[in-house]
Amino acid sequence: MTALEHTAEETSPAEEEAALTTADYQAPRAGTWTNVACGATIALVGLGALLVAIDLGLGTLAQPQAGTWPGLLSGLLILLGVLIIIRAKTFDDAERITTNATAVAVGAVSLAAAAQLMPHIGFEIPAVLLMIFWMSILGKEKYRLSVPISAVSVAVFYLIFVIGLNVPIPRLF
C-alpha cells in the first residue's frame, strides 16, 4: 500500500480535499494495469503504423522509400510499448482516472460542439454559450457573473480579431 492510500483511509477523502488547495493537491496514483494498458495501446498504435508503412513500401537501406522511416519508427513504438508492459510494475507516475475526469470529458466535448457550430451560425453565439457553460455549469460560478463576463469577452475578441486583425472568422455581424 502506498503512503497516499494510507492517509486517505484515516480521514475521509472529502474532508481531506476540502482543506487542500490546487497548489498542494496530488492526484491518486494508478496501478500496474493502467501502465500495462498504456504499453499495449502504444504497441498497437505502432503495429497499425507498421502495417501502413509496409503498404507504402519499406524499401531498402540503399533505396529508402516512403515507408522506410515510418516503418523504423513503428518498430521503435512497438518495442517501447512492450518494454512498458514488461516494466509496468515499476512506474509510479501515472494518475488514476477518477470521476473527476467526467468534467474533462464534458469540457472537451462542449468545446468540440462549439467549434462544429461556429462555421454554421457564426462564432459569437457558440462562444458566449461555451463560456457560460464552462463558468457556470463546470465551474459553478453564478450566472449574474458568467453571463456578463462571457458577453464582454466575446465583444472584446470581436474587436481584436475581426476589426483589429481582420480574421475572416464566420460571424453574425
Q: Which 153-172 residues touch other proteins, going by CB under 8 A? A: 153-154, 157, 161, 165-169
Of residues 7 through 26, those in contact with other proteins by CB under 8 A are 17-18, 20-26
| Spatial CA neighbour of 29 closest among 80, 76, 77, 98 | 98
The sign of the torsion formed by the CA atoms of 124, 125, 127, 128 equals positive
Site mask for other proteins (CB under 8 A), range 97-136, x = bound: xx-xx-xx--xx--xx-xxx-xx---x---x--xx--xx-
Of 40, 91, 125, 171, the residue at the interface with other proteins (CB under 8 A) is 91
59: phi > 0 → left, psi -120 to 50 → alpha, else beta; which? left
Binding of residue 52 to other proteins (CB under 8 A): yes
- The C-alpha atoms of residue 172 and residue 126 are separated, in whole angstroms, by 11
How many chain residues touch other proteins (CB under 8 A)? 81
Binding flag, residue 36, other proteins (CB under 8 A): no
Shortest reach from residue 81's CB to other proteins, in Å? 7
Q: Is 144 in the site for other proteins (CB under 8 A)?
A: no
> Long-range contacts for 70-74 (Cβ within 8 Å, ≥24 apart)?
73/49, 74/46, 74/47, 74/49, 74/50
Is residue 88 a contact residue for other proteins (CB under 8 A)?
no
149 binds other proteins (CB under 8 A): yes
How many whole angstroms separate alpha carbon 169 and alpha carbon 129?
17
Distance CA 99, CA 106 (A): 12
Residue 1 vs 165, nearer CB to other proteins: 165
